Structure 1
Amino acid sequence: MADVPPLSPQATPAPRPATAPSPANWGRFSLQRILGQGEHSVTWLALDPRLGPAPGREVALKLPVIHKAADAAVITRWVQHARRVSHLVHAHVVPVLEADVLEQQPYLVYGYLPGQTLASVLAQRGALPAAEAVALALDVLDALAAAHAAGMLHRNLKASNVLVDATGRAQLLDFGTATLVDGAPAWLSPEAAQGDITTPQSDVFAVGLLLAEMLAGKPLLDAGDPDRAKYRLAHEQLAPAADLGPDVNTSLRAIVARALAYDPGQRPPGATALRDALLAWSEATARGDSGETSDDVPGKKTLDALLARMRHKSDFPAMSDSVARIQGMANSETESISSVTNEILKDVALTNKLLRLVNSAHFAARGGSINTVSRAVSLVGFNGIRNMALSLVLLEHMGDKAHANVLKDEFLRSLMAGSIAVELCAVQRESEEAFIGAMFQNLGRLLAEFYFPNEARTVRGLMASTHKPIAEAAAAASVLGVGYEALGVEIAKSWGLPEGIQRSMRKPRGEPPLHPPVVVEERTRWIAMAANEIADILLRSPTAEAPLRLAQVAGHYSRSLGVSPAEVRIATVAARKKLIEMAAAMEIRVVAGSGAAQLLQAPEEAPDPVAELPDALAPLALQATPPADGSAPATPVHSVADILTEGIQDITHAMVEDFKLGDVLRMILETMFRAMHCQRIIFCMRDPKTETLTGRFGLGEGVEGVVKPFQVALKPSGAPDLFSAVCLKGADTMIADATEARITERLPAWYRQQIHAPTFLLLPLVIQNKPVGLIYADTATKGGLGLDEKELALLRTLRNQAVMAFKQNS
């Protein structure tokens, strides 16, 4: 290889060979035709007589345009660097055969590979299929990983520096030429655009640009306006185009978005990390388990993917089923309290948490202890129970997830927003809709955190950039293809939440109105928005900054809410106290120092907070109490007698009021069902037309199919069967083993054929020596109803309360 000839700083560049006729000779090279030409270089197909028999071996001769300010020292360093690159041998790096200077013109000699540049491919074909684009990016990253391991950066990666060979594989060109010429502004990294030191993350950013260009079919930045491109790179957070191909799913979009992070620390740490992420995506796609579907509607792919994951990922609060069923029952005109109660009772944990919640300070104003779901539904109402049940199921099984702490932060923030919204509602009947609207206003974010954790992490990274963070809506749209708000509303729609609630989940646009809106839905939307902003501050703001920021939000929204800033503060403090009690009722344990721990720190008590701080919200003293071991507290174990006693008290309170017979009977059945842990419990009532006790309603798994067969004859034509005899005598009866021959032969045919439980209990209701009803309970195991005398006595008391309810109702 020839030595570098001495050049004086005043040397002028040689004429650009691109203008030379073809064929022509330049030095020893015989120039055949131009392979590629750009603003910064021209590449010829040339013959090199040194590398083969006459007329010579085909090579690619690259002649960069010399920067005007380049002196001999710069050119010397460039040649030395290029010669270092010649030692890089890799399957996806076009080999550098020579680097030198001839006639004051630096040049590179590459081995010639038939093919065309990626820029030419994109100019001809436009956007590439996702699988093909990722495969080319993997080739490039393989080459970069080897270069980075050898201590070399590319610094000038763009489509014109990637050769796609005859086999369709990518080969990388031009390591380090940006040290000699002005780098192409549209393909710089943000740090390079600002003149800062470049790192492996700079090359990672370039791959993000390259991949975004392949998927969109055009560069992310306009190369025709270099000043504008350089400015945007230096000052803006870029995101993949919204209109990528239908096969670009949320996972791939998130990978590209992370590579394009403005802050190098938010990008993958190197080419290997980005290659691994793309390889995992490629393998998942090949297996067909990416969970994505094609659709031309923006965001539809994300929605379909989310619904698919919800169907197959049962450990997130059974949202797809439970929410839809509970919501459907709450909205139905035909569903009874019994149906809603039975649905909730299917989940023991949900039942216990719901009862603790309705007895917390949040609902204490309703008066008295509430010990049955039936009474809770009756007092709180369908919508109130729906709101609480939805709140509770959102948290089920989160403790089993590695990112449970992030989910708890989001859940508690949502619950806090709902609680604040209730306190801010001037009209009580609007509070339920305000609660669920505020709580679900960020449902999309919560769902994304659970089902798309990697993508959600990328969104948080884009928002937290130390240089130029972008808003959450823009970040989510760039990563998922749809904003969190739209995602949450679509899921709410799939669950069947009312349209009014769906609308309240959408944040209002523009400045808050000067007066409370007349339309209820508009009022609740502004309340929900203000409540969410307050909850965000309580969750994320440093302690010292929180009071001022809360005061600013209170002042911003007070007129549109129809309350003073001081009243906003009082509502916030009250809601926070209730949230702490609700969290305790739901057994939520949080990590010390987390956002959730900050949110659950008790506010200071003040004798007259309005008088003390009239212009700002009272500082909320944060005194976190870390959990002892991070484990959930043990749930108190209630005995059969305890549950029965509490139920008796609950029913006694209900019967003092203006009660409905059906409500009291349901409460009695529910108390027995929970206490005995039976399989099914059924209430039968006398039909005067047929003189039979017929099944009316019940609780338990599959009870709907068991209620109808119950037909206990009160005037049997022959010898009375066991059920008829018990009811006619009014004798409470426990059958421990219904499989014994002497028992089986006395069971009615309808019972043997359709039910025939091994153990059952019969508690007849008798008024004036006439049977008017029957309570039946059974278990699936022999001897499963092991009740002592005290427990049987309490069951009889409950049965007698049913008799009394019949008498008072007649």
Structure 2
Amino acid sequence: MTGAVPAALRPGGQLGRFELRRQIGQGAQASVWLAWDDMLQREVAIKVLLPEEQLDHALQEARAMGALRHPHIVPVHEAHVEPGLAWLVMTAIDGCTLAERLRGGALPAQQAVRLCSEVLSALGCAHAAGIVHRDIKPSNILLDSQGHAHVADFGIAARSHAGHDGVLVGSAGYISPEAAAGAAPEPAMDLFAVGLLLGEMLCGQPLRMAVLPELAMARAREVPVTWPANCGQDVDDRLRHVVLRAVAHDPAQRFASVSAFEAALQAWWQPMSQAQLELPGDASQGPGADTLAFLLRRMRQTGDFPALSDSVVRIQRITASESDSVHVLAAEILKDVALTNKLLRLVNTAGFLHSGAGEVSTVSRAAALIGFSGIRNLAMSVMLLEHMRDQSRARRMKELFLQALLTAMLTDQLTPPSAERETAFLAGMLSHLGRLLVAYLFPDEAQAIRERSDGTDLRSETRAAVQVLGLSLDQLGQGVARSWGLPDSLRLAMHRPEGDWPRRLVPEADERLRWRVRAAGEMVQLLLNHEPAHTEAALRQYVASVAPALGLGIDAVIEAVQLTRVQLSGLASDLQIEPLPHSQARRLLGEDPAGDTTMVMPPPPARMADLLSAGLAEVTQALLVDSPKLNDVLRSLLESLLRALKAQRVLLALRDARTGQLAGRLAMGEGADALSRRCTVDVTAKVPADVFAAACIKGLDTLITDARAPDLRPRLPGWYRDQVPVSFALLPLMLKAAPVGFLLIECEHTLQVDHAELSLLRALRNQALLALKTAH
């Protein structure tokens, strides 16, 4: 800028009829001034853009903001363009930016949520007009003297779904992964940034670590956002979940719209209406009534059970499909205890009953009533176990989910083929409702019940629960089921009968189902409490005492137990539920929690995530140089894995162009060369020959914490069986849904990774793929 223009940009200077009073903001491409409009006798804010190539941006911003009228969007009154200079005249906001406010630390949760809601409301207006902001960040949110938020700076806004030249726009600290990859503007990009904004308000620090500018965009593309370990305040799990859902790396796992994001915040603010959790009339008096009332109040504050992230992903995939049926969807919902509970509660509310739907006691009918879109929204509204702050508690919930699922699957197997089998499955699952609620909402009381129970059977647990809570877990579950409005038939079925087992067939079908539920629950307890070597004898003795009442043969029941354990093991693998090596829950899967072959070592250092992040930065930097050397990049990646996971060996296998098989290409660690020479995995066969081939063909990231378990050995490749490590992880490399290689990490300790560390491992794997694509 030359001539008289620089002289004008000073306090007392004149821009047209506007007198500049003081500068209130400065950026690389613009400055903002408080000015006086002599004609209208008012203070205004003037944004001055320079140099000349920014003039188009001035007009773009003026047109974008001028088309929007919203109380939380800074209005633009005028736009002026002169040779070499442009400026916008806007309402002056008497206050500060959110960035300035955050220098004082984290905001109280309710204030942060209110400001976030105001920003979302503004963006809803912009999105409805087809405008994507693309640069939501604290410095672009102005706070007025009353503490309300106003969205400013639409300078790089664009039309949603408009043509895009691939140029990256936005601030690296707040840009979404897809925007950092050059995708066309979408409203989802703004919502991702708002999620980061909310997280920063709650933690008092950005959720993305500051890195070198040349690495920032690569990191935004590749590294998932995680919750910081040193958050500035204690944030409850439900609000953490809202943030982490908003900033999910996969756009399909985020909120689909502004309204969905706002609904999640509203649900946090007012978790559940009183009508949904009123105390049933027949439970308002008598022993345990106070406990039940307190539980219902806690549920109103805390919300739903957390669900498994893999279940949500799979349900999202099914609901987006044009070919899957409602029965396929129902079968997937039934695998997740939290989603099943929430769906049944929803369809039995007064609103559905008044619509003529009647009582709903099966998930298939519930899914049909709500529809695919409704199920998708429901799945997105449930908190994820992976987002819980207390991961030891989350692990305990997963183990209880396995018990509930095995009880449900056993009840189903013990029920003859008929229309009531889904009700039988649900009754078995819901018989654990009281136990699950206490474990989630009252962890201290749950621990006291475990300590007072001798752990041998359900009767001991019942006595302990009455001592601690004043009522049994079954009574607690019944009370909650009644408050949810679940059908009488389902509540009767989930209520286990008491007393001695009948010596002959129970004649009534409804009553026989209750005894099947009890048998399934008692067999689950038997599996938990017996060493694998003694399980079959104990199981056969128990079945001999109950089979007459069920009208089943002893061998048929034993076979049903064996089948369901195999099914549960596969389901646990699909849902990535991996009980700890020493936990009783492993016995449900047919594994010994304390076998001689399992060496439990201390977990990897707490700095694993930091080491993985550093390794990711090194690999990313190596890729950013001109003509990166493939072998150097891959060696850097393997070194990072070896160091961060304290691994014995790491190996990279790639597809052999001649045979189509995956063969060892590069390896590091003790005995790595020999491992690389032996490594060969056939991914061309229609039926996978082993667990390596199955994982690669299906693209499944696989973590085996006890690789020496006897039942796993037959499923390992022949070349791998002689020198099996204590644990290993296998991460397939997929291009266009086909395996082109895999990373194998072997450890002589039990390898354990949390959700954030797993995300970083996957990001490193993605960098290996990027290196391979760059080389070709």
Q: TM-score, normalised by structure 2?
A: 0.44
Name the larger-Rg structure: 1
Instruction: Give the TM-score normalised by structure 1.
Output: 0.42
